[in-house]
Amino acid sequence: MPDPVDPRAPAERATDDREQAAGDPAVRRVIDAAERRGVRLEIHQLADTTHTAEDAARALGVGQAQIVKSLVFVAPHGDGLLEPIICLVAGTNRVSLARLAGVTGEAAVRRATAREARELTGFSIGGIPPLGHPRPVRVVMDPDLGRFAVVWAAAGHDRSVFPVSPAALRALTDATVAEIAEDRSAETPAGGTAAPGS
């Protein structure tokens, strides 16, 4: 498997990655959120930013479905406020709005704009993690992630990722596991891929 960063020894590289990650406030929020739950994350720094789940999978040497896309949706409420809903989706899947509306009970749910995603989560698209948000958010997890022993999620920055078991991911985020992905026949070959956390 190609190394996503450099050829240094794993222990040396891991120490440097943790030190570099600890210096980034966004990544630090993710690390701290996991530590509050008793989990120590292993942060990996990618050499380049990744713009799609396919790019991230290639950089990590894993299957695209092992990349966790943290997609932000919003449920508008009568008072004008938007409630964020984060969908943790396998890198090969796309979210069905109809299924998400059914799972959440929010008929008007829609994809957040980049600005809304940043304002509601405190993270920029491309680095939106599954945890570490400034306020509690509803999280819905794609059951397809459970097919793998390890999946990879964004760690608050577009070059920072961490490996995690699907069970630990669910526990860390208090996620509801539900069928939210479009049927495979509804997908188009070129659509729906995003970087981890975007």
Q: Is 191 a member of any domain?
A: no
Burial 139-148 (b: 16+ CB within 10 A, else e): bbbbebbbee
Per-residue pLDDT of the chain (198 residues; tens, 9 = 90+): 334 444 334 444 555 555 665 578 999 999 999 999 999 999 999 988 877 888 899 999 999 999 999 999 999 988 889 999 999 999 999 999 999 999 999 999 999 999 999 999 999 988 999 999 998 999 999 999 999 999 999 999 889 999 999 999 999 999 999 999 998 654 433 334 345 665
- 3-class secondary structure for 32-90? HHHHHCCCCCCCEECCCCCCCHHHHHHHHCCCHHHEEEEEEEEEECCCCCEEEEEEEEE
- Say how many C-beta atoms besides its own lie within 10 A of residue 162's C-beta: 26
Task: Tell me the pairing of strands 176-177 and 44-45.
Answer: unpaired
Length of the chain: 198
Q: Is 99 a member of any domain?
A: yes
Q: Indicate if the alpha-carbon torsion angle 109, 110, 115, 118 is positive or negative.
A: positive
Q: Is 4 a member of any domain?
A: no
pLDDT score for 40: 95
Six token digits for residue 137: 């958010």
Edge-to-edge strands of the sheet including 160-164?
A: 44-45, 160-164, 151-154
Q: Is 21 a member of any domain?
A: yes
pTM for this entry: 0.84
Q: Is 26 a member of any domain?
A: yes
Q: Is 197 a member of any domain?
A: no
Domain that holds residue 66: 10-186
Number of domains observed in the structure of the chain: 1
Task: Tell me the pairing of strands 82-90 and 160-164.
Answer: unpaired
CATH number of the CATH domain containing 38: 3.90.960.10
